[in-house]
Chains A and B, each alone.
Chain A
């Protein structure tokens, strides 16, 4: 038998065997041993963030840009609690991630020791799996389980809590190649009978519609989806999490559906007779009022998580399967459906209410900015924060093949964007990243500028500054009699703080303020030329610009506010 090794050595060995070359870490008392081991290790880039929440978002961006399982390492207590928002975000957007937290030594657990928190308990409902390592000899097995669980089936975050003494005790040197987990059997097949039934139903449709969710992207089934749609000649709508799975200029693509979806797409959902959905959990942003969702349609639902099926929307043909496995089969079956009238009808809806924003008197037009970004950066990964700017990005950014659209969909976490953009650039240093963020959300994690400066990758930080918490203000404008309580971010002295230009300068970073449409292109081009780090572009936007169409929460998709 090989000689025993310490827990800290096994930790690094495990990372190496998992092929981890980058981890996102923030130090503290309960992980000093592991940190010290990392110092002695070559081949692992340890990214130091400036706040543990941001660290997790960075890891999310990294996972989205690379497809790899991201790794986070933080200390116990406050280090661990700071990660919670990030973990929840990763959980709701199914991002593969393993979070290691330090913990007080075993004998102190339960004593309310300094920086002791029950982080496994706190994150139980937002992790796929969470566990404290209580025996040094279980450590290898647990870490292996963590990576297996995080990355297979419906991916998600796994939290592994490692008490300080476990890190220094010697024990089993082996890191297993595979662990059998008797309670975990991700779906790797598809019930052919059920899939054929789904296909036959689709084949009978006169007004068919494909609805693709983020699961299609996670499964890497984009090409199969396009092929299936083409062979069958049926239109495709997507959720925000699936934005980009179909080229947006494809003649069968009709846009996003949902709360701020395209008029034609929401009409199509409402009028279709068979809705064939793949890899979506039908959350309320997609369905609007549930009772009136796709009222005329028989619904097929393909999803890897059987618990997502028939939870929100009752489904006529459920198929539990990975999107790629299902689509590979479906492409074999696919035969053309003649539905010319239906396609024409959808086109007419699009012509009736195309997506477009009126230009306001103040500042730049968000639509123009998004369109210019698509033009100047046809290959960049696009990352957004949460708010109006995010919805404009989903509406007006045109994605090409190979571009990721990285956004916080399930949790809608303000502060996600900037760190996620940094993580995406770390994962893919040669691809520019364009961040589209609001002035509010940006301020939730702007300390990460230091992280961005240390990594020197090209990030174009586009702050849509409407000096307001625009998305909430929009609700106040439309539904609360314009009573703008706590949504105005400018100061009582009339100034806006911070001055983003001076702020950028304090990081030795170039900042450009853009106040009218003529300046958009040149600013973007200037940022494009700066390949060695971030550029801050502050676009001044009118606080009165709205995201439309809008389906008010709790009303049917067909009730769209259009102007």
Chain B
């Protein structure tokens, strides 16, 4: 079992998301994340999907997706150079003053070029906004959980695009 990535061009129509996600539930495929948004063309959406699967199952998933009328193109991103980011919000509350300071330190350490910021603050709480790779986000969440008692995490799921000449995943 390995984590795999697929980008999917689909018709931007009612029911397509249900059809794609329905495949994963109907066949018991282990879907990790699925994001979707429109592209430069109004009538085409692009999905980024990550799934845990062995080789045979993953081949099957790609074939099944390809067989759908609404799916225009399937791209296997697993071994391609890509840029990938996920937006994450983490609200840390019930902070003592030292805690607050530590939160800022953490943000500072993780931050590279503005991709981790504290964007909101209250008497005893702060809000992280991160645009990191999924793995980096996992690490940040793990750290926050180990340091603070009360945290709330909202994640957007990863979005990926094929590289031009550099990559980041």
Q: Which residues of A contact B (CB under 8 A)?
A: 120-121, 124-125, 128-132, 134, 149, 181-184, 305-307, 310-311, 314
Any A CB within 8 A of the CB of B71: yes
Given A125-B26, A182-B72, A183-B11, 20 further pairs, Cβ under 8 A: A120-B15, A121-B15, A121-B18, A124-B18, A124-B19, A125-B23, A130-B15, A131-B13, A132-B14, A134-B14, A149-B69, A183-B68, A183-B69, A183-B71, A183-B73, A305-B67, A306-B66, A307-B67, A310-B59, A311-B60
Any A CB within 8 A of the CB of B39: no
Nearest Cβ distance between residue A492 and chain B, in whole angstroms? 41
B70 touches A125 (CB 8 A): no
**CA–CA, A69 to B74, complex, Å?**
30
Any A CB within 8 A of the CB of B56: yes
Interfacial residues of chain B within 97-143, with CB under 8 A of chain A in the complex: none
Residues of B contacting A305 in the complex (Cβ-Cβ under 8 angstroms): 67
**CA–CA, A128 to B70, complex, Å?**
10
**CA–CA, A182 to B43, complex, Å?**
12
**CA–CA, A134 to B13, complex, Å?**
11
Nearest Cβ distance between residue A27 and chain B, in whole angstroms? 27
A124 touches B60 (CB 8 A): no
Any A CB within 8 A of the CB of B63: yes
**CA–CA, A131 to B15, complex, Å?**
8
**CA–CA, A89 to B75, complex, Å?**
32
Any A CB within 8 A of the CB of B22: yes
Nearest Cβ distance between residue A266 and chain B, in whole angstroms? 26
Residues of A contacting B11 in the complex (Cβ-Cβ under 8 angstroms): 183
B70 touches A183 (CB 8 A): yes
B69 touches A307 (CB 8 A): no
**CA–CA, A134 to B14, complex, Å?**
10
* Chain B 6-50 near chain A by CB (<8 Å), digits 1 or 0: 000011011100110011001000000000000000000000000
Q: Which residues of B contact A (CB under 8 A)?
A: 10-11, 13-15, 18-19, 22-23, 26, 56, 59-60, 63-64, 66-73
Residues of B contacting A311 in the complex (Cβ-Cβ under 8 angstroms): 60
Interface centre among A132, A149, A305, A307 (most CB of B within 10 A): A307
Interface centre among A132, A149, A183, A311 (most CB of B within 10 A): A183
- 26 A-B pairs (CB sep. < 8 Å): A120-B15, A121-B15, A121-B18, A124-B15, A124-B18, A124-B19, A125-B22, A125-B23, A131-B13, A131-B15, A132-B14, A149-B69, A183-B10, A183-B11, A183-B68, A183-B69, A183-B70, A183-B71, A183-B73, A184-B69, A305-B67, A307-B63, A307-B64, A310-B59, A310-B60, A311-B60
Q: Which of A120, A129, A306, A310 contacts B69 (CB 8 A)?
A: A129
Closest to B63 in A: A307
**CA–CA, A120 to B19, complex, Å?**
10
Nearest Cβ distance between residue A163 and chain B, in whole angstroms? 13
Residues of B contacting A310 in the complex (Cβ-Cβ under 8 angstroms): 56, 59-60
Residues of A contacting B70 in the complex (Cβ-Cβ under 8 angstroms): 183
B22 touches A124 (CB 8 A): yes
Nearest Cβ distance between residue B28 and chain A, in whole angstroms? 13
Residues of B contacting A121 in the complex (Cβ-Cβ under 8 angstroms): 15, 18
Residues of B contacting A125 in the complex (Cβ-Cβ under 8 angstroms): 22-23, 26
**CA–CA, A472 to B23, complex, Å?**
31
Nearest Cβ distance between residue B100 and chain A, in whole angstroms? 47
Closest to B19 in A: A124
Residues of A contacting B72 in the complex (Cβ-Cβ under 8 angstroms): 182-183
B63 touches A306 (CB 8 A): yes
Closest to B26 in A: A125
Residues of B contacting A149 in the complex (Cβ-Cβ under 8 angstroms): 69
Residues of A contacting B64 in the complex (Cβ-Cβ under 8 angstroms): 307
**CA–CA, A183 to B73, complex, Å?**
7
**CA–CA, A128 to B72, complex, Å?**
15
**CA–CA, A124 to B18, complex, Å?**
9
**CA–CA, A307 to B29, complex, Å?**
15
B60 touches A307 (CB 8 A): yes
Residues of B contacting A129 in the complex (Cβ-Cβ under 8 angstroms): 69
**CA–CA, A528 to B71, complex, Å?**
51
Closest to B44 in A: A182
Residues of A contacting B60 in the complex (Cβ-Cβ under 8 angstroms): 307, 310-311
**CA–CA, A183 to B72, complex, Å?**
4
**CA–CA, A131 to B72, complex, Å?**
17
Residues of A contacting B71 in the complex (Cβ-Cβ under 8 angstroms): 183
**CA–CA, A129 to B15, complex, Å?**
11
Closest to B60 in A: A311
Closest to A311 in B: B60
